[in-house]
Structure formats: C-alpha cells, structure tokens
Structure 1
Amino acid sequence: MILLADSGSTKTDWRLMDATGSHQQVFTAGINPQYLDTDEIYAIFEKELVPVLQQKSPVSVYYYGAGCSSPERNKRVEDALRRAFPDSNVHVDHDLLGAARSLCGHQPGIACILGTGSNSCLYDGKKIIDNVPSLGFLMGDEGSGAFLGKLLIRAYLYRELPEELAESLKKTYNLTKDGILDSVYYTDMPSTYLATFAKFMGEKSKHPVIHAMIYENFNEFFERHVCKYKDFDKLPINFVGSIAYHFSDILHQVAKKFGAHIGLILQSPSEGMVRYHQEQLEKEQ
C-alpha cells in the first residue's frame, strides 16, 4: 500500500492505493514549504489527513509538491511526513516531476503546470532534462492563475478596465485598494489570493478585454518558457492545472500561433500519477 500526494498552494490531493488499483482519496489544505515550516505542515497532516486514514500505514509515501525545489524545503515536508508516518519510506519531489510522470508517463515530451502558479520542463521519459526556471508571482509565473489575477487587478487599480467590468469586479469581491495591497504584500500566500480572480475572468472570458488578458497570459508563457526548449515544435506539449483546463480554447489559439502541438490537457495530475505508480507496483509484484 502506498500513499500519493499531489500538493499545490491551494489544496492537496491524497490517494492511498494498493496493488489492485483500489484507492482512497482525501483532500487537505494546500502545502508549500516556501511559506510553511515543518510544524505548520505537520499540523495539517495531524488534523486533516491522519484521522481520515484511520491508522492505515503505507509502505511508502510519494509526495509531489509545489515549492519542493531545494533540499532545505524538501526536508521540511519529509520531516513532517516522517512524524505522521514513522514506519513509511518517504519520497518528496517537486510537483513538476509529478506532472511529467502524470502527463508523459514513460514517453518524452514537454510538461507544463498552469494552476495557481506555473512551471514547465523537458522530460525524456524517465527524468527532467531541462527546466526554464519558474520565478514565482513577483518576477514570473506567466501562464498561471496568479499572473492572470495580477493582470486584472493591475488594470483595475490603474483604471484601465471598462466601467461595467470594474464595477462588477468591485461588487463581486468587495474590493478596496488597501484591501488588495494588504492581501498581496502582507499575507503568507499572495499568489493564492491573486489566483482567486481567475474565476471572475472565466465568467467574463468572452469580453474582449478579458479575452485579451487571458491570451497575453498564455502568450507570455510560450515566449518565456515553452519556446526555450529544444524541438518544442516537434514534441507534444502537455498541460495540467485548472488554468490550462478551463481556458483550453485560448491556450490552443496561442499554441497554434507558435506552431506548437498540444497533447494532453488535464485538470489534475492525480489520475495520471495513480496510473504511473500502479504500473510501478505491478512491476514489483
């Protein structure tokens, strides 16, 4: 029995599975070791995960998470998992590897995450061989929900939105300038706050101003990330995440502009990760 985790800044999708493919699904709060320490992460496990599993102890835990991009950050998650599951083998990797395994399996391709944040990599079917760095919401995150929210809120505060859009946005979120700035500069997870505005943009996506922002978001992602990979126009480009999934029509428009071929677009990597690890379990039997 193994425990899989696909963790983003907003939520974590857990799957407890055995060799037959049977699995139990649990959702907990999002975890990002860039913002949370070991005790804070363990508190989430202790409150939201361990009681639901009812003392089931997996042989191994495979955790793929946002923010797991350095040994120091990974150790925060590893230590919390070992406290929660002292008898389990713990493996912590970046969510990008999880996305690549989910989207590409054992085949080469380009794997992209477009959710609250964004990232991408070139995958050879076994490992990541190239990665244009993701610089976070302040310097990067092109293609993400946070970047979309930044485009929208910046236009709102600069009085660049049409009046009807500005009024609708203000009414929907009860916006004030001070409230926006406090949420961006003085909270623990500002990218999550900015990404909440993607829902509004989805509802208004047919409006030419909003459509142009969504197009700009994906165009920036292709220019700054996808086009930097060797043979990007020959390999399948696969996407996972709510932004790619819900705005897939515009994503296809941008890909066509760059002569790129889109393969899979998944809302969540979890099912693909289950398939990948199911194959691994079967090989070990």
Structure 2
Amino acid sequence: MILVADSGSTKTDWILATPNQADLKFTTAGINPFFLSDKEIFKIIHKQENLVAEAEKVTEVYFFGAGCSSPDKREIVSNVLSQIFKQAYVSVDSDLLGSAYATCGEESGLCCILGTGSNITYFDGESIFDGKHGLGYILGDEGSGSSFGKKLLTDYLYGNMPKEESSLFSQKYSVNRETIITNVYHKPRANFYLASFAAFLSDIKSSDYCQKLVTQGLTEFVETNITTHQGYQNLKCHFVGSIAWNLKAELQEICASHQVDVGKIMNHPIQHLANFLLKRG
C-alpha cells in the first residue's frame, strides 16, 4: 500500500492506493510543522481511525505539506509518520513540490499555491527551486485566504466596509474587536483564523466592494510573485488551492492582463499527485 498526503495549513488530503483495489480517501486537519508540535501532529493523524487501521499494511508514505521546506521541519513530520507507519518508507517534502508534480508532471513551469497561504516555485520537470517568496501570513501570503481575511476584518473594524456588506458580515460571524484581537494575537493558528473569513467573498461576489478587493489581492500576488520571475511569459503557470479555484475567473482575467499563460487550476491536487507518483513508480 502506498499512502500519499497533500497538506496545507487548513486540511490534509490523503489517498491510500492498493493495487487492483479502489483508492481509500481520507481528510484530516492541516499539518504544518511551523505551527504544530510533533505531539499535535500525532493526535491529528490518530483521530482518523480508518487510516490508522491500515498502518501496518502501508509500505510507502509520500507527504507533501506546507511548512515542510526546511530539513528540520521535514524531520518533525517524518518522525511522526514513522511512529505510525512503522513498516513504511517515509518521504516528506514541501507542498510546492507536490503541487508541481500534480500540475506540471514532467514539464517545466511555474506552480502557484493560493489557499490559506500563498507561494510560488519554478519547476524544471524534476525539481523545484527555492525563491524569495513564501514569507508567511505576517510578511507575505499575497492573494491568499489569510490575506483576504485580514483585509475583510480590518475594513470591518475600521468601518471601511460598505454598510450592506458590513451588516451581512456581522450576521454571519458575530465577531467584535475583542474576539478578533484575541484570536489573532493570543491564540495559535492565527493564519487559519484569518483565512476562515475569506469564505465571505463568495457571499458578496457580485458587489463592487468584493470585486475591488479581489482584484487588488490577486494583482498583488501576480505582480509580487509571478511577473518578477525572469521569462515568466514563456512558461505555463499553474495554480492550486481554494482561493485560486473559487476566484479562477478573476484570476484568469488578471493573469491575461499581465501576459501570464495560465495552465491548470486545481482545488484539490491530491488525485493528480497520487497518479503521478504511482505512474513514476
């Protein structure tokens, strides 16, 4: 059995592939070693009892996750996986590599993540290359769920959100300054908390306020991350993540205006990732 995982900060998609049998699919909370300890990661996986029940049969584990770009963070996740899947070979790498495998396959291109956070990488058909981006939700994450959530919250608290949208926001979330400050500055996983408000964009998608917010956020991502890459006009640029998927019409329009050649846009790359790994052998 081969186990493949694609993890962001919000959730982790798992596929357990067995020859001549239907794939088993699971979902757990997000596993990001920047925000979670080894014990917390262990608990998240163990909550998925159907997955743990197959642990002894798993021979290979391929985990691709947010926060797994550095060796020390990869080791945290690898050690936990090795404790659970004791008979398996374990490989841990960044979510960018997993996304590149899922979208680019064996072709070169740019691969962007637009979900809870945001990032970009160049893939040459075999490997990804470290860039200057991926600074996280405080310094970076342009065009991400956490970035849009932060803008919505600040507009709401400052009174800059239009009256109709502000009323809808208040009805949906029932938040105030105190609860927002507490969750952002005094509780863990502030990025996840901020990103949870991005869903409000779907409720007000036709409004001028939303369109302006979305255009500004996605334009900032494109101009900060894509057009700064030398020769970007000659490369396919792929996108994965909930923000890219839910705002794909707006994203495609902004990319076209910046001469960005959009390739695939995926919400959940896990199946394509698993297919690539199984085909590669």
TM range (shorter): over 0.9
Aligned residue number for residue 153 of structure 1: 153
Measured after TM superposition, the shift of residue 56 of structure 1 is 4.3
- Whole-angstrom distance in 2 between the partners of 1:226 and 1:21: 41
**What aligned pairs does 1:43-192 form with structure 2 within 5 A after superposition?**
43-49=43-49, 53-192=53-192
- Tell me the TM-score normalized by structure 1: 0.95
Per-residue displacement from partner, 1:32-51 (whole Å, max 9, x unpaired)? 10011111111222222565
Aligned residue number for residue 234 of structure 1: 234
CA 49–158 in structure 1, closer or farther in 2 if over 3 Å, else same: same
* Maintained 8 Å contact 1:111/1:120: yes
Aligned residue number for residue 212 of structure 2: 212
- Tell me the TM-score normalized by structure 2: 0.96
List alignment gaps of at least 5 residues for structure 1: none
* Maintained 8 Å contact 1:19/1:278: no
- Runs of 4+ in structure 1 off by over 2 angstroms are 18-22, 49-57, 129-132
Per-residue displacement from partner, 1:27-83 (whole Å, max 9, x unpaired)? 111111001111111122222256554444211100001111211111110111011
* Maintained 8 Å contact 1:68/1:92: yes
Measured after TM superposition, the shift of residue 261 of structure 1 is 1.1
Superposition RMSD in Å: 1.4
CA 51–129 in structure 1, closer or farther in 2 if over 3 Å, else same: closer
- Whole-angstrom distance in 2 between the partners of 1:232 and 1:183: 38
Measured after TM superposition, the shift of residue 88 of structure 1 is 0.7
Aligned residue number for residue 263 of structure 1: 263
- Whole-angstrom distance in 1 between the partners of 2:78 and 2:44: 14
3-state SS of the aligned residue for 1:221?
helix
- Whole-angstrom distance in 2 between the partners of 1:192 and 1:76: 20
- Whole-angstrom distance in 2 between the partners of 1:228 and 1:58: 42
* Maintained 8 Å contact 1:17/1:24: yes
Between the two proteins, the alignment pairs up a number of residues equal to: 281
3-state SS of the aligned residue for 1:228?
coil
Per-residue displacement from partner, 1:135-166 (whole Å, max 9, x unpaired)? 11111100111111111111111111111111
Per-residue displacement from partner, 1:215-270 (whole Å, max 9, x unpaired)? 11110101110112221112111000010001011101110121111110011111
Partner amino acid, structure 2, of 1:154 = T
Measured after TM superposition, the shift of residue 19 of structure 1 is 4.2
Measured after TM superposition, the shift of residue 18 of structure 1 is 2.8
* Maintained 8 Å contact 1:120/1:132: no
Partner amino acid, structure 2, of 1:135 = L
- Whole-angstrom distance in 2 between the partners of 1:108 and 1:189: 34
Partner amino acid, structure 2, of 1:104 = C
List alignment gaps of at least 5 residues for structure 2: none
Q: Give the percent of matched residue pairs that are identical in Structure 1 and Structure 2.
A: 36
- Whole-angstrom distance in 1 between the partners of 2:49 and 2:233: 42
